[in-house]
Every structure is written in structure tokens, then in C-alpha cells.
Structure 1
């Protein structure tokens, strides 16, 4: 077998391999770990709510909540909740 035939067979084998694998190569993006585990089309699972006492932002699912005059009020801590209840009691 001549060297030219070997070269042609090697090129054909390489082209066949690329066709079978779809021509995909591993990019550097595939190797990195994403800091956001959500897929781009997934809705946001939690929202931030503002504490009415100290005005800090707290994830809604982790916040302490109190039903006040028909609506929910969210707090960052028991202390802020107790302060709110004391202030509302003194205003009445």
C-alpha cells in the first residue's frame, strides 16, 4: 500500500468520525460549573421582600410573616416582627 493511499484512508476516516460525532468539540464553557443552576427559561422561585422596620431585603420563603389588616407583612427577624406589633399596638 502506498503512503498516498494510507493518507487518503486516514483523511476519510477522520471525516467519517467528524460526521458521526456531529463535528462537536468540547468547549471551555462546558467545563465550567455554572453559578446559576436554573435553566434560562425557568421562572424565578423566590422573590425578595422588604422588612418594614429595618428595610432589609429577605427571601420571601425565609421571611417571618404576619397577617396584618388583610395583607401579609414580611420580616427579617422575630425582633423586627415584635417591634412592628408593638408599634401598631401603640398607634391604635
Structure 2
């Protein structure tokens, strides 16, 4: 075989490999997007606003400070550690 034919075959094999890999990555990313709970059908990220129970500010859920309530096993969201600590101290005073 001529060296030019070997080079052409090598290039074609490389391009086929790249196409297969890119198709595999697209399928993997699509599956990951489908399993994510904060994405919409078109792949856009959707963030939910939650209200801080202390200062009543609206905070994006992904950025909020989380605290799992001991009594009800629900998650309470706060705008900052300061509000979280105030909530904990108020819960302690009520008991």
C-alpha cells in the first residue's frame, strides 16, 4: 500500500472514532439532564425561590443555607447563617 492510502485510512478511522465518542457523550449528557430535578425539558436550569422564615427574604434554593428540622423532618431554608442561628435559638426558647 502506498503511504498516502495509509494516511487517508488513518484519518478516516480517527474521524469515525471522534463521531462515535461525541454521540456517546451527547447520550450520556442527555441522560444526566433527564435525571436532574432542577432542569426543564429544553435543558434550561430552573431555580426555585424559597422564603427565609426569619427575615422573609426570597433566596434561590441552591444558594440557601439548609437546616433539617428535628421535629418534622422537613428542610428549612435560610438566606444566611445568621438567620439560621436565630431560628435555632428561637426553637430552643420555645421548648
TM-score by length of 2: 0.51
> 1:84 deviation in Å?
0.1
Distance in structure 2 (CA, Å) of the matches to 1:49 and 1:71: 13
Per-residue deviation, 1:86: 0.1
Deviating above 2 A after TM superposition, structure 1's stretches of 4 or more consecutive aligned residues are 39-44
* Larger Cα-atom Rg: 1
Q: After TM superposition, give the deviation of residue 45 of structure 1 in Å.
A: 1.8
Gaps of 5+ in 1: 1-38
Which is helix-richer, 1 or 2?
2
1:74 and 2:77 correspond: yes
Q: Deviations over 1:10-66 (max 9, x none)?
A: xxxxxxxxxxxxxxxxxxxxxxxxxxxxx9955652100000000000000000000
Match of 2:85, SS state, is: helix
Please report the RMSD computed on the Cα atoms of aligned residues, expressed in angstroms: 2.0
Q: TM-score, normalised by structure 1?
A: 0.53
Q: Number of aligned pairs? A: 54
Q: Deviations over 1:50-92 (max 9, x none)?
A: 0000000000000000000210000000000000000000001
1:73, 1:41 → 2: CA distance?
Answer: 29
Gaps of 5+ in 2: 1-39
Residue 60 of structure 1 is matched in structure 2 by 61
